[in-house]
Structure formats: C-alpha cells, structure tokens
Structure 1
Amino acid sequence: MRPAFWLASLLFVAACSEPHSPAETKAAPPAAATVDSAGFNSTTVKSLPLRQLPAGVPRQPGKVLEMTQWTDANGPNLLLISRSAVQTLPAGPDDPNDVQSVSLYARQYVQRAGKWKELWHLQDGVERCAFDMWLGPVPGAVAVTDLDADGRTETTLVYKLVCRSDVSPADLKLIMREGPDKYALRGHTVVQYDSVPAAQRIPADACCLDTISAARLEEEYELLTGRYETEKEFRQAPPAFLRFARQHWRRWVVEQEMGQL
C-alpha cells in the first residue's frame, strides 16, 4: 500500500489563478450574520442553477460543479467551482501506461457598480495519474463566515485530490479566503477500509506533520491519516480563523463516496 500512496502524493500539483466578471440586479443589503451551533458567525448562502451563469459572468473553464451567492459589506458575492474534462495522455518513455490529468478551478466575484469583479481565484490539479483518479470539492463543505465580525465574509473550501491504486488516504485541502488573504490546511483524509468506523480514526490532534521526522513517517505511515502538514499560514490570521479551520477539517476529513469525473 505504501509505495502507491507515496507515488500518488507526488502526482498532485497545486497552483493559483483566477477570473470572472459582471452580473445583474440591484445590490441587496448585507446579510445578517447568524451564530451556528459551534458559536461561529455564519452567513446564509444561496445555491444557483449550475447551467445559468448570472449576466456578465465570464464562461468558466470546464464544467461548473457549484455556484453560490451571498451578500456582505462588499456587496453581492458569487463563488464558482468548476472542473476541467479529464485529459488522457498515451503511454510514453516516462510513463509505461496511459496517464490522466484533471484541473479544479474556484473563483469568487464581487459585484461593484453593476459589474462582477474577480476577488480571488484558485487552480489545482491531479497531474499524470496512472491509477484511480478523482478531484473535486467535498459536497456540502463550502462555508461562508464572518469570524472576525468585520462585515467582510470569509470563504472556506474543502476539496479532495485522489490518485491511488489501494486504500491509502487521499490528499485533502482546506482553503480559507478573506479577499486577498489566503490561509490553508493541507493533509490527508481518513479512509474506511475495515470494520473499525473511519470516524474513530480521526486523530485527536490533527496537527502537524511537519513536526514528525520523515523517517518516522516512512515507518509509521498511518500517522498521515487525518492529519495536515502545518498551521503556519494562520499565524497572522485572527485566532477565530484557526479555531474554525480546525473544526471544519475534523468535520470533513473522513472520506465520503466520490461521484463521477
């Protein structure tokens, strides 16, 4: 199991990019924040039909998977998550078998003066995978919050990257954005593979793999399960951001059934 997992981990490539534009209608007043059961300020969002982009929004790369709208102090916001078609490359000198690649895109827009302006974008992908492959957002895991109560919302995405030939954990990424500011947790899922419920395998403390030696991880690769690399990106963030990210990670780290690419 271990060799395939390490090979799969090397096949994931992260990047960044962005786009989008206009929409329509008059701006609604900022939505009132509510407090969820864990005590975090959350914002009500509305899911939009996937086949009908708001007027003025550029065409998205690939197939739109999620489209969500809400309002904060910046005005109307629009989040779009899309995925490219799978690209298959024939076997060659470096790849004894056919390999596949696929990309995921996320873009957030804000409406100003009647036009949609891109606030941030993200692009990530699974590259040259010769095993079972999947890439996409974890269903239901998008969260829109106002944790620092400044009227400007934070957007949190959780998505999974899979390239494996066994029951090794997949790569999992939690990305939180507040405008240009980006915070992330990057690690691995918990997989159900025997009679012990996967939820029981969630580590009490998921942080941090960068404090464990590579030699120990090589010998005790089970330590990867459910853990993320580091919390360093949250050092300059308000404390509530990391508290929320830790809880959100635990909520979504157990693998759910995957759909079709």
Structure 2
Amino acid sequence: MNSVQLLRGQLRPALMGLLMAVACVTTVRADDGVALTSIDQVPDGVEVRGKQVAAYTWDDHQGKNLLVLAEQVSERDDDGTQSAFVYAAQYLLSGDHPKRVWMLYDDVQHCQFDASLRFDMAATKVTDLSGDGITQATVGYSRTCTSDVSPNEFKLIMHVGKSQKYRLRGVDRVGASWWDEEAGALRGMPLPKDCSVAAQQALVSQYKEQGTELPLPGCYSEEKDFAKAPEGYLTFMRQHWFALMQKQDADWSQSQAQPQDPTDDEE
C-alpha cells in the first residue's frame, strides 16, 4: 500500500464522520428555524397595510420568500372610540411580479376604551419541520380593547403554503402578577406548564381562585386546528407558545418588582 492509498484510507472515515455531522447540523437547523434576512424596503408590488414594523426574506423549495408585518392604531373618532389592526402577508418573489401566498388581517373596531393589536416579534419564526424544503411561517400577536392593565388575547398562527393554517388562541401574561406592598412580593398564579383543562383547573384549586375563567393567563384554549396536521407541527407550536409565555412572564414580573433602595454610595 502506497502513501496515497494509506492517506485515503485514513481520510475516508474522517470524511464520513464530517458528512454525518453536517447532516445532523442541517436537521437540527430545520427544527431551530430557517435563517431570515431583515429588510427595510419591500419590493414594488408588495402590499403593506398600515405601518410596516418588520419584513424578512428567506429561501426554500419554492424560491425566495418575503414576510411583511404591519400595524396601525387609529386616532379616536368623534364618538371617542378607537380602532386598530395588524396585517401580515407572505409573498413569493419569483418572476416579474411578487405573488402573495397568504394574508392575515385582524382588527378591533370602535373600541370604547384603548384598542391595541401588536405583533410579538419573538413569535416570528420560519421553520422546515419536515426537512423537505417546504417552510412554515409563524407569527404571534396580542389583541385587546380595555381600560386597565390585564392579560390580552394572544394568537399564535402558523401558515403553510396558500391554504394550511394552524392556530393556538389564548391569553398572554401581561398583568398576570402584581406587587403586593404588604407582603413585599409578587402575587398571582404562576405560568401554567400544561394548558389542558384538567391542569388549569388544578392550578385554580391550588391557589383558591375558584370562578377564574379559562384559559388562564399564559395558556391557550384548544388544539383542534391540529387534528389532521403533521405531528411535528403541534409539538413545535406548543414549545413555541410556552417559550413566548415564559419570556413575557419574566419581562412582566421584572417590570413589577419593587425597585431596590439606593445604596449609600449612590446619589
């Protein structure tokens, strides 16, 4: 055996290991999310309703895709009411003119209090859960018409192509806890770890909050949209929902925590 043959014999297992490692990374990346490129200006032919708050592009089996997100809160009408909406759309950027794949529009009309619809940017994610080059685009937003600080309606929506849509609808964690001056601690039920009705009712009983409506803050109401969906879709959406609620819960709790007294060294 000459030196070249020996070198090839030594490299072959190493190359095989490297190829397997690359394949594993690709699979994990599909689950972790497709890389998105943020852009400021959308191409001509892409409709934007309201004020653009984000736009992203990515490539998949269909070609180059664009996702645009927009929001708008109106001035109060003469009767004192207020309206607001969110808008999202995915476009396929192929040929001479962008082709819209799907559009999302939701609103609050003639709210007598404060109207608000806002995207949770952390919810925006594009995935290839099946690893076949066909991507899923997921967005999430809060929706409310209220005069106080209380949990908002929250929707997490996944679109796959033109016609497939899967939703989790529930309540976010804004206003779910508050600072108790006498106790010197935050009060309120913790973020549920399980959104089944039985688990939520058990939490209500544990904290003696009988009469509390379900879903609890941080939970969604049902999973019926996923009855015929690929199994991986519901698994991803559950994990994504709870990750978002954990972040919201941490951010809200931090904003409500009692500020520390300044030290002697501080002015």
Q: TM-score, normalised by structure 1?
A: 0.72
The partner residue of 2:212 within 220, 237, 252 is 220
The partner residue of 2:34 within 28, 43, 56 is 43
Q: Using a 3 Å threshold, how does the CA distance of structure 1 residues 100 and 70 change in structure 2: closer, same or farther?
A: same
Q: Which structure has the higher relative contact order (CA within 8 Å, separation 6+)? A: 1
Matching residue of 2:226: 234
Equivalent-residue separation in structure 2 for 1:142 and 1:34 (angstroms)? 20
Matching residue of 1:117: 99
Equivalent-residue separation in structure 2 for 1:58 and 1:40 (angstroms)? 29
Alignment of 1:92-111 (within 5 A): 98-111=80-93
Q: Using a 3 Å threshold, how does the CA distance of structure 1 residues 202 and 86 change in structure 2: closer, same or farther?
A: same
Matching residue of 1:252: 244
Residue deviations 1:107-142, cap 9 Å, x none?
000122243100000100122222233211112220
Alignment of 1:188-227 (within 5 A): 188-191=171-174, 192-194=177-179, 195-196=185-186, 201-208=190-197, 219-221=211-213, 224-227=216-219
- Select the structure of larger CA radius of gyration: 2
Alignment of 1:30-179 (within 5 A): 33=26, 35=28, 40-49=31-40, 52-54=41-43, 56-91=44-79, 98-179=80-161
- The question of whether the paired residues in 2 share the 8 Å contact of 1:67 and 1:78 is answered with yes
- The question of whether the paired residues in 1 share the 8 Å contact of 2:170 and 2:220 is answered with yes
Question: Structure 1 stretches (4+) deviating beyond 4 angstroms?
Answer: none
Equivalent residue pairs, number: 210
Q: Using a 3 Å threshold, how does the CA distance of structure 1 residues 84 and 168 change in structure 2: closer, same or farther?
A: closer
* Structure 2 letter corresponding to 1:53: V
Residue deviations 1:202-224, cap 9 Å, x none?
11112459x98xxx999223752
Give the SS at the match of 2:88: strand
Equivalent-residue separation in structure 2 for 1:34 and 1:143 (angstroms)? 16
Q: Using a 3 Å threshold, how does the CA distance of structure 1 residues 181 and 222 change in structure 2: closer, same or farther?
A: closer
- The question of whether the paired residues in 2 share the 8 Å contact of 1:208 and 1:231 is answered with no
Q: Using a 3 Å threshold, how does the CA distance of structure 1 residues 99 and 202 change in structure 2: closer, same or farther?
A: same
Give the SS at the match of 2:48: coil
* Structure 2 letter corresponding to 1:152: I
Q: Using a 3 Å threshold, how does the CA distance of structure 1 residues 208 and 104 change in structure 2: closer, same or farther?
A: farther
Equivalent-residue separation in structure 2 for 1:247 and 1:43 (angstroms)? 17
Q: Using a 3 Å threshold, how does the CA distance of structure 1 residues 197 and 183 change in structure 2: closer, same or farther?
A: farther
Give the SS at the match of 1:35: helix
Give the SS at the match of 1:65: strand
Can you give the 5+ residue segments of structure 1 that lack an aligned partner in the other structure?
A: 1-31, 92-97
Matching residue of 2:11: none
How far does residue 40 in structure 1 lie from its aligned partner after superposition?
1.9
Q: TM-score, normalised by structure 2?
A: 0.70
Aligned Cα root-mean-square deviation (Å): 2.8
- The question of whether the paired residues in 2 share the 8 Å contact of 1:144 and 1:156 is answered with yes
Give the number of the structure whose residues are more often helix, by fraction: 2
